[in-house]
Structure 1
Amino acid sequence: MDSWNRAIALIEEQIADGAHHRTSGTVDVARLARATLTSEHHFRRMFSVLAGMPVSEYVRRRRMTLAAPAVLSGQEPLQDIAVRFGYRSADAFSRAFRAVHGVGPVDARRAAPRLRSQPPLRFTLSVEGTQQMTYRIETLDAFTLLGRRRRLPIVHQGPNPAMTAFLDELGQKTLEDIAALSTGRPPGVLAVCTAFEEEREDGSTFDYWLAAATQSPPPDDGRQPDHGPLESLEVEAHQWLVLSSQGVEIEEIQQLWPQAYGEWFPANPYEPLDVPEMLATVHDDGGEEDHMELWLAVRPTAQSSG
C-alpha cells in the first residue's frame, strides 16, 4: 500500500501548492499513476474501488475542505480562492463548494453553516483474502462484435431499468438473430460494456451492447433483417482475465467488478486495458443459465515483463 499512500501525499502536495500560490493547484493524475507504477486507466479504476469514490470526487472533497477556512474568513475574493484551488471561475468553484458542503460560499460567509470535512485517505493492509479466487487467463485472436447498442446510465447496485427496457425493446427474435452469428469466443449473446465516462460514477453513461463475437463477416443473402442492420465493433487480439460469478443473480454479477479491481489486480502482476468488457452466460448440462463470466482484457505490468 506504500505506493498508494505516496499518491495520496502527492494529491495533498499539489492541492497545497495551489493553496500557497506555488502552482495552479491542478492535480496531475498521470503523475499519481506513475507513483503507483500503473497506467492512468488502471489507477482511476483501482482508486474508485479502493477508496469507494472516483479520484476526481476525492480531490474535490479535499480541495473544498482546505478551501473552507479561506471562504469563511471573508478576506479574499472568491475568484482568487477559486484559482488557487484549481478552478477557472468563481462559478465553478461555487458549484463544487455547494456539492461538497451543501451550501454555497456566499451563504457560508453570511451564516455559520455546518460544513463537511474530508480527511486525507490512508490505505492500510487488512487481513482479507483468506479465500482463494479462481480465475483463468485466455488468449483470443482479433474478432468482431456484431449486435445492437444503447447509451445507458451506470447502476452499480441493483437492477438497471434502462438496461431492462433496452432488452425488452430488442425482443427475443433479435437476440436469436444475434446468437446465430456467434462463431467466436466467448460464445452466445454477450453483454458488452465500453466507452465509459472517465470516472464510471453511478449515473454516468456508457455504451451497452448485446452482441456476438464472430471471426468472419455475417452472410449477405440480400435481405434486410426485421430489426434493422447490426452495428459492429472490432476488438484486437489480447489476453483476457476471466472471472466467474456464483450464480446469475444481479448482485452476484455486479460483484465481479469489485472482485476484479479490488482483489485480483492488486494481487497479480497484470493491468486492465481500455477494451470492451464482456459478460458471457454459461449454461449447465440441461441448458439452464448457471453462472456468468466477466472477460477483461489485460496485459502484464512492466514489473512482471521486464
Structure 2
Amino acid sequence: MEWLERMNRAMDYIELNLAGEIELSEVARRACCSSHQFQRMFSFITNVTLAEYIRRRKLTLAAFELQNNKAIRVIDIAIKYGYESPVSFARAFQSLHGITPAMARQDGIALKAYPRLSFLITIKGVDAVNYRIETKESFEVFGIERVFQSDESGDTPSTPAQFWQQSHANGEIERLAFNAGDLPRFVSQDSNKVHGICSYKKTGNDTFPYMLCSFKSATSNTKGYSTITIPAQTWAIFPSEPIASDAFGETIETLYRRFYAEWLPTSGCEQVDEMEMQVCGERGGLHTVELWFAVRKI
C-alpha cells in the first residue's frame, strides 16, 4: 500500500499545480523515485505519457473556466495554464476538444473532460503473473554504455530501443556477442550473449545509464568495453513465453506493465535504486526475454 500512497502523493502535487509550474523533480520526490522512473511507471500503468496527462488536465480545467466564467479573457486562461500566446492555446485546445476556445462558451457545445487520476488496487481478472525471486551473488557485466534523458534529441539514439536498433545495424551487437565468451552458471544456458541493463549507477538529474552488455566470464574479451560490478541483489524475475521477433517490443511492454501495475503494488517490495536487466534468449527457434528487477522488502 505504501507504493500506492507515494504515487497518489505525486498526483496530488500535480493536481495542485496545474495552474502553475510543475517541477518533475518534485513529482518524483513525492513518489520516492527519480523523474525518469516516475515517467516510465506512469506511462506503463496508464498507457499515456505524463506530459500528455498534464496537458489533458490543464485543457480540461481551461474548458471548465471558459464555460463557467464568460467574463474572463481567453488570453488570461491561456497564460494561467502555461501557454505563451492565445494562438498556441487555441491550437492545443482545438486538438483536444475539436473546437476553438471561443466556441467552448456556447450553450450545448460538446467538450471532453479528463478526470484526475488516482492509483488504486483493482481486481482485473484471474490471469497469473508469472515470476520468481532469486538472490544472486555479485557479478560483472561489460559492454557499450550510453546515458539517456527523456528530452534527448539529435543524431544519437534517444531511447534504449533505438540504441539497440543502431547497434544491430552497425555490427556492435554481433561484435559484443563474439567477445562475450561463455555464459556464467547462474544464467540460463538458453540465454543470448547480449542483454540490457539500466539504472546501475547515478548519472545526474533526469538521466539514466543503459548498457548493451554481456555477462563477464573467464573467457570474455572485455578490451575496449565498459565493465561494471553488480552487487549481490535479490531479483524479481518476470519471464516471457517464447515469441516471434515482431512481438518482442509488445511483450516487453506487457511485462513492464504487469510488474508496475499488478505485482509491485501488492508485493510488499520496492525496487532497489531502480536497477533492472533485460535478459534475452532463444528457445525452439523463438525469442524469450526475462525482466530482472532488483527488489527488497519494504
> Structure 2 length normalisation: TM-score?
0.64
- Correspondence for 1:278: 277
**1:261 correspondence with 2:260:** yes
Q: How many residues align?
A: 266
The equivalences for 1:216-231 within 5 A come to: 230-231=224-225
1:247 aligned to which of 231, 242, 246: 242
User: Which residue in the other structure is 1:137 paired with?
Assistant: 134
The 5 A counterparts of 1:198-237 are 209-214=211-216, 230-232=224-226, 234=228, 236-237=230-231
Residue 178 (1) aligns with residue 179 (2): yes
Deviates more, 1:186-195 or 1:130-139: 186-195
Does the CA contact (< 8 Å) of 2:134 and 2:236 recur in 1? Answer: yes
Residue identity opposite 2:157 in structure 1: R
Partner of 2:157: 151
C-alpha distance in 2, partners of 1:282/1:218? 18
Counterpart CA distance in 2 for 1:239 and 1:48 is 25
Residues 83 and 255 of structure 1: CA distance in aligned 2, closer, same or farther (over 3 Å): same
Shift of 1:244: 0.9
Alignment correspondent of 1:226? none
Q: Answer whether contact 1:146 1:211 (CA < 8 A) is retained.
A: yes
Structural mapping, 1:44-63, within 5 Å: 44-63=39-58
User: Is the 2:145–2:209 Cα contact (8 Å) retained in structure 1?
Assistant: no
> What's the offset of the Cα at 1:295?
1.7
Letter in 2 for 1:180: G
CA shift, 1:66, in A, is 0.6
Q: Partner residue of 1:118? A: 114
Take 2:99 and 2:227, find their aligned partners in 1: how far apart are those partners?
45
Q: Which residue of 2 aligns with 1:198?
A: none
**% identical aligned pairs:** 24
Distance change in 2, residues 1:43/1:234 (3 Å): same
Distance 2:236 2:289 in 1: 13
Structure 1 residues 27-49: Cα deviation after superposition (integer angstroms, max 9, x where no partner) = 77746864x6x435554444333
Structure 1 segment 43-82 matched on structure 2, within 5 A: 43-71=38-66, 75-82=71-78
Contact 1:190 1:281 in 2 (8 A): yes
Match of 1:101 among 94, 97, 104: 97
Looking at structure 2, the residues matched to 184 and 94 of structure 1 have their Cα atoms a distance apart, in angstroms, of 60
The Cα shift of 1:181 comes to 7.6
For residues 63-86 of structure 1, the C-alpha deviation after alignment (integer angstroms, 9 at most, x for no partner) is: 11011244566644455323433x
What runs of 5+ residues in structure 1 fail to find an aligned partner? 19-23, 196-204, 221-228
SS of structure 2 residue aligned to 1:212: strand
For structure 2, the residue ranges without an aligned partner over 5 or more in a row are 147-155, 200-206
| Letter paired with 2:48 | M
The reply on whether 1:128 has 2:125 as its aligned counterpart is yes
**Cα deviation code 1:52-99 (max 9, x no counterpart):** 2233322221111011244566644455323433x2623765564355
1:55 to 1:29, Cα distance in 2 relative to 1, 3 A: farther
